[in-house]
Chain A
Amino acid sequence: MRDVAVVGFAQAPQVRRTDGTTNGVEMLVPIFHEVFDKLGMTKSDIGFWCSGSSDYLAGRAFSFISAIDAIGPVPPIVESHVEADAAWALYEAWVKIQTGEADTALVYGFGKSSAGNLRRTMALQLDPYVLAPLWPDSVGVAGLQARLGIDAGLWDERAMAEVAVRSRRDAETNRFAQLAGSKDVDELLASPYLAAPLRMHDCAPITDGAAVIVLAAGDRARELVERPAWITGIAHRVDSAHLGARDLTRSPSTAGAAQAVGIDGVEVAELQTPFTHQELLLRRELGLGADVRITPSGGALAGNPMFAAGLVRIGEAAAHIADGSAGRVLAHATSGPALQQNLVCVMEGR
Chain B
Amino acid sequence: MTSVQPLSAPIELTFDYTRSLGPTLSRFMTGLRDRTVTGVRVSDGRVVVPPVEYDPVTGAAVSEFVRVADEGEIVSWSWAAEPLDGQPLARPFAWVLVRLDGADTTMLHALDVPSPDAVRTGQRVRARWADEPGGSIRDIVCFEPADTPQRPPAAKAPTVADVVSMVTTPIELSVEHTASPQEMTYLRGLEQGRIIAQRCPVCRKVYVPPRGACPVDGVPTDEDVELPDKGIVTTFCIVNVPFPGQKIPPPYVAAYVLLDGADIAFLHLVFDTKAEDVRMGMRVEAKWRPREEWGPTLQNIEYFRPTGEPDADYDSFKEHL
Contact = CB atoms under 8 A, between A and B. Distances in A.
Let me know if chains A and B touch directly in the complex, using CB atoms closer than 8 Å.
yes
Interface of A: 19-23, 25-26, 29, 32, 43, 56-60, 66, 68-74, 114-117, 119-121, 124, 127-137, 139-148, 151, 193-198, 240, 242-245, 248
Contacts, number: 197
B189 interface: no
B176 A134 contact: no
A43 B215 CA distance: 13
Interface of B: 6, 11, 13, 17, 19, 21, 25, 28-29, 46, 48-50, 52, 56, 75-81, 84-88, 95-97, 99, 105-110, 116, 121, 136-138, 167, 169, 171, 173-181, 183, 211-220
B9 to A, nearest CB: 11
Contacts of B220: 26, 29
A21 B180 contact: yes
A139 B79 CA distance: 10
A29 B215 CA distance: 11
Contacts of B107: 130, 244
A136 B218 contact: no
A25 B84 contact: no
Given A71-B218, A117-B173, A245-B46, 13 more contacts: A21-B183, A26-B220, A29-B213, A124-B173, A128-B169, A129-B19, A134-B86, A135-B85, A135-B86, A147-B121, A243-B97, A245-B56, A245-B105
5 contacts: A58-B175, A74-B216, A124-B171, A145-B76, A245-B52
B88 A72 contact: no
Nearest to A192: B81
A271 B297 CA distance: 44
B106 A72 contact: no
A42 to B, nearest CB: 10
Contact of A195 (B78, B85, B109, B167): B78
B125 to A, nearest CB: 14
A134 B215 contact: no
A140 B94 CA distance: 9
Given A59-B13, A148-B76, A70 B218 contact: yes
A167 B74 CA distance: 32
Contacts of A137: 80, 84, 87
B218 A26 contact: no
B180 A242 contact: no
Given A135-B84, A244-B107, A151 B76 contact: yes
A301 to B, nearest CB: 18
- Interface majority SS (helix, strand, loop, mixed), chain B: mixed
A197 B177 CA distance: 34
Query: In the complex, which of the residues A32, A143, A144 has the most CB atoms of chain B within 10 Å of its own CB atom?
Result: A144
A121 B173 contact: yes
B95 A143 contact: yes
Nearest to A19: B6
A148 B75 contact: yes
Nearest to A243: B108
B19 A143 contact: no
Given A22-B178, A144-B97, A72 B216 contact: yes
Contact of A196 (B19, B79, B99, B211): B79
A242 B52 contact: yes
Given A59-B173, A115-B177, A242-B105, A129 B218 contact: no
Given A21-B179, A58-B175, A59-B173, A136 B95 contact: yes
B191 to A, nearest CB: 18
A26 B212 CA distance: 7
Contacts of B79: 143, 193, 195-196
A23 B84 CA distance: 26
A134 B19 contact: no
A69 B218 contact: yes
A115 to B, nearest CB: 5
B214 to A, nearest CB: 7
5 pairs of A and B residues whose beta carbons are closest in the complex = A59-B175, A143-B78, A72-B218, A25-B212, A244-B106
Contacts of B81: 193-196
A196 B78 contact: yes
A230 B222 CA distance: 39
A81 B142 CA distance: 40
Nearest to B184: A19
